[in-house]
Amino acid sequence: MNDILSVENLSISFGSNTVLNDLSFSVKENEVLGIIGPNGAGKTVMLNILSGILSADAGRIIYKGQEISNTKIVERTRLGIGRTFQVPRSFEGMSVYENVMVGGVCGKLYTEKEAGEKADIIISRIGLMDRRDLLAGSLGLLDRKRLEIGVALASEPNLLLIDEVAGGLTESEVSKILEIVRDAKAHGVSIVWIEHVLQTMLEGTDRTLCLAEGRNVICGCPHEVMDSPEVKAVYLGADEDD
């Protein structure tokens, strides 16, 4: 299976603080790669670089065989890279349907008619059809997070970057997020998933990578990674989010 994403020797510093230090990893086509790590490991900064929000000081990002290290956010979206955020960024005064429509119009350049038709498909897949016409601002946390994924999926990404979407949810609610991720994978989407909720990594990823001090500490089978001495050492005393 080919790599859809290859990160090569990625480094970034803010002043004297080195956040990513020669980080390298790859994601295969139709793979879910989980990313774990303690507070300050550089996980969200890495996702910001992959999505184009930040530029790395050094290193390369290869997406589908093309270097995209210097491309802008909009270009990456059009190339097929979608992104969610830790704090949902929906338009609170617009309905669930309208939010997903915006994802299709802005992310995929669909006409409003095309985006509207595809929006209902996405809304059904994320389990919000019964809330289709509700304002996003009236939704509970789980539904806001489902909508966050739905808006990202509306641009029909080949690669979806997920940033701690399970945070603050109950175990049963996390299971609903897992269902959406599995559905996305079943539709051919490759996923990079940052998370602190270990249930998601054990049940929802093909491989898990542990990031610490900006480096790839260990990467492999989720259960083996979680049980490894390296991960236990990294997490000793770490109890805060990025």
Q: Is the pLDDT of residue 130 over 70?
A: yes
Q: Kindly state the average pLDDT of the residues 11-40.
A: 95
What's the confidence (pLDDT) of residue 236?
57
On whether the CB atoms of residues 35 and 218 are closer than 8 A, the answer is no
Amino acid letter, residue 83: R
What's the confidence (pLDDT) of residue 235?
77
Q: What is the pLDDT of residues 31-81, one digit of tens each?
A: 999 999 988 889 999 999 999 999 999 999 999 999 999 999 999 999 999
What's the confidence (pLDDT) of residue 88?
87
Q: Is the pLDDT of residue 121 over 60?
A: yes
Of 22-26, 106-110, 153-157, least confident by mean pLDDT is 106-110
Say how far apart CA 85 and CA 57 lie, in whole Å.
23
